[in-house]
Structure 1
């Protein structure tokens, strides 16, 4: 049997059922819209750059240097719109099931800031000191930020990675990287 409801409990239930969701709750439930907005912005940026690109080489055939950026930009816009429509219709991304993480633990901001500093230092130093040295610092700094404490082995591995990457791109692939002081040596 159903317990007898009083007018006071009925009005409280109706008020809670009719109460509008708070703005934070709606945004939290539709957080995937942020990804959609980001994809849309990147698509507009890529498409805008592709359409304003000055091409000075002679184009042979219908496919030129603008084709791939235009296709990627249009693809990003389409995916952004489809994702937004899906989220607004109630679609949700599937939770990570394969990761062995504890979602109750806070973020490790020290590692994030160390990695950001290493990447920023690399971007600043690549011009003046060249890729081999800046790349060594990048690989070594990233290994340190991610927890490796092998102070004799890590710099050697980092230098090997940086030098082999420099040699591969500069000499084998023909993509010039700044050599810095080692320009004449390598």
Structure 2
């Protein structure tokens, strides 16, 4: 067992190949479950593109697996302006994840404007800004701009939540 582990050491790209293969298989399976009416006169149909994408993902997974098993590997990033010797800054990552989770949990009840404001404000706080009032105002403006940008520009209604009828 340890001999197999040592043989695979340094071949983390196999994980990416596995992920590509799983996603490709899921795309093909999902395409096969599409219900298409028989009266559709389009010779290509709606299943064609998902089958192509899924197939290409499987081909990429197979080619990447062969490449890695033959000794190929990805090139290490040069790290233009970052120090690659430092680990992950969890004191930044965890609050960012928390801001996204809060947004997911509150968007339906409070609406996009409030949850988006919390998302934007929490993100800038996690990234180090300590101008609480200014960041709150900018976050609110961004949430309102995206709310109306989606509604007026794209015709997509984001949830208004408790501000239903006000916005």
TM over 0.5: yes
Choose between structure 1 and 2 for higher RCO, CA contacts under 8 A separated by at least 6 residues: 2
Aligned residues: 166
Partner of 1:180: 161
Identify the match of residue 132 of structure 1 among 110, 113, 116: 113
Cα offsets for 1:95-118 (capped at 9, x unmatched): 111433223222212222111111
Identify the match of residue 30 of structure 1 among 1, 11, 14: 11
- Quote how far apart the aligned CAs of 1:172 are: 2.2
Partner of 1:149: 130
Larger Rg belongs to: 1
What is the alpha-carbon root mean square deviation over aligned residues? 2.3
**Structure 2: gaps (5+ residues):** none
Alignment partner of 1:149: what SS?
A: coil
* Residue 102 to residue 185, structure 1, CA distance change in 2 (3 Å): same
Q: Is 1:46 aligned with 2:27?
A: yes
Q: Is 1:69 aligned with 2:70?
A: no
**Structure 1: gaps (5+ residues):** 1-20
Identify the match of residue 96 of structure 2 among 115, 119, 131: 115
Between the aligned partners of 2:19 and 2:98, the Cα distance in structure 1 is: 24
* Residue 29 to residue 122, structure 1, CA distance change in 2 (3 Å): same
